[in-house]
Amino acid sequence: MPQNTQRMPQTHPNPASVFDQGALAECIDACFECANVCSSCADACLGEREHLMHLVHCIRLNLDCADVCGATGRVLSRLTQPDLNVLRAQLQACLAACKACGDECERHAREMNMTHCGVCAESCRRCEQACGQLLGSMSAEG
C-alpha cells in the first residue's frame, strides 16, 4: 500500500471503526489495487490484437470489477458514521465482481499464457479474500 494511504486512517479524528483495523486496511488496499489492475488489464487485453476476439468477456468483467472495487474502496475508507448495511452489501458485490473477473483472468493466464491476466487474477483473488474476511468479521460481531 502506498505509505500515505496507510497513514490516513491513523490520523482520523474518529479512528474507532466497526472493523478490525488490520483487516480493514488490507481490504481498502486490495480494493484500490484491484480497481487499478483491472483497468490496466482491460487496456492490455485491448492491445492484444491477435487474441482480441477471445478477450471480449474478460474486458467486460475487468471494467465492471474496476468500477465495483473503486466504489468499495472509497466507501470503506470513509470512517465517519458508517452504515453497516451499505458496507456489508457493497462488500458482497465486490466479492462477486472479483470472483467473476478472477475466474476469467485465471483461465486466460493458463490457457492463453496472458501475463497481464495472470497478475490481474492475483489481485482479484486477494481482493475477493479480503472482502470475505471483512464480511466474516462483521457477522461475527452480530
Site for a copy of itself in 82-121 (CB under 8 A): 82-83, 85-86, 88-90, 92-93, 95-97, 99-100, 115-116, 118-120
Cα 132 → chain centroid: 11
Any contact of residue 73 with a copy of itself (CB under 8 A)?
A: yes
Site for a copy of itself in 49-68 (CB under 8 A): 49, 52-53, 56-57, 59-61, 63-64, 67-68
Instruction: With beta carbons less than 8 A apart as the criterion, state whether 73 and 32 touch.
Output: yes
Distance CA 122, CA 106 (A): 8
Distance CA 104, CA 49 (A): 19
User: What 3-state DSSP class applies to 51?
Assistant: coil
Q: Least distance to a copy of itself from the beta carbon of 24, Å?
A: 12
| Binding positions for a copy of itself, rule: CB under 8 A | 1-2, 4-5, 7-9, 11-14, 29, 32-33, 36-37, 39-44, 46-49, 52-53, 56-57, 59-61, 63-64, 67-68, 70-71, 73-75, 77-83, 85-86, 88-90, 92-93, 95-97, 99-100, 115-116, 118-120, 122-123
